[in-house]
Amino acid sequence: MRVYRPYARPDGTIDGYFVLVRDRTDERLRQEALDRERRRLLDAVESFSEGFALWDAKDRLVMCNSRYREMHAPAIWKDLQPGISYFDHLVALVAAAPPRCAPKTPKTACDSGLLSGKTRDRHTTSHATMDTGSG
């Protein structure tokens, strides 16, 4: 941030300028380190041979790897973006199921909890369970 302001004498002539400069080196270095760690995390998650999705405490998608997308989202790729709710994701999955498998009303089926395999404070997918500790 730079602020230039003229220093004027009482008669109005400019005698000089006040210049304020903010050194953002530390801020830039912290951001670069954060970006580097974020890339390392994404690379690690992407290296999993299994599908991986991370949901936050409000049941919103934080991130998932490409294997998860391949397994769960071929028909709903555009819907599987960070921020989507677990429930909306589940409804989209059920709606995209083959006609002989999909219920007539995916939202109602998901509301009933019969298809979700999920309780309020626990996500379960095939063979992995993560207790988020909320409850």
pLDDT (tens place) for every residue of the chain, 135 residues total = 566 777 788 888 888 877 777 788 999 999 999 999 999 999 999 999 998 999 999 999 999 898 888 887 666 666 788 999 988 888 887 777 766 555 555 556 555 554 444 444 445 444 344 444 544
Rounded alpha-carbon distances, angstroms, from residue 31 to 28, 43, 83, 123? 5, 18, 23, 32
Q: Count up the domains in the chain and report the number.
A: 1
Domain contains 64: yes
Domain contains 113: yes
Rounded alpha-carbon distances, angstroms, from residue 49 to 31, 36, 52, 66, 99? 30, 23, 9, 10, 29
pTM exceeds 0.85? no
Domain contains 110: yes
Query: By residue range, what is the domain housing residue 115?
Result: 51-131
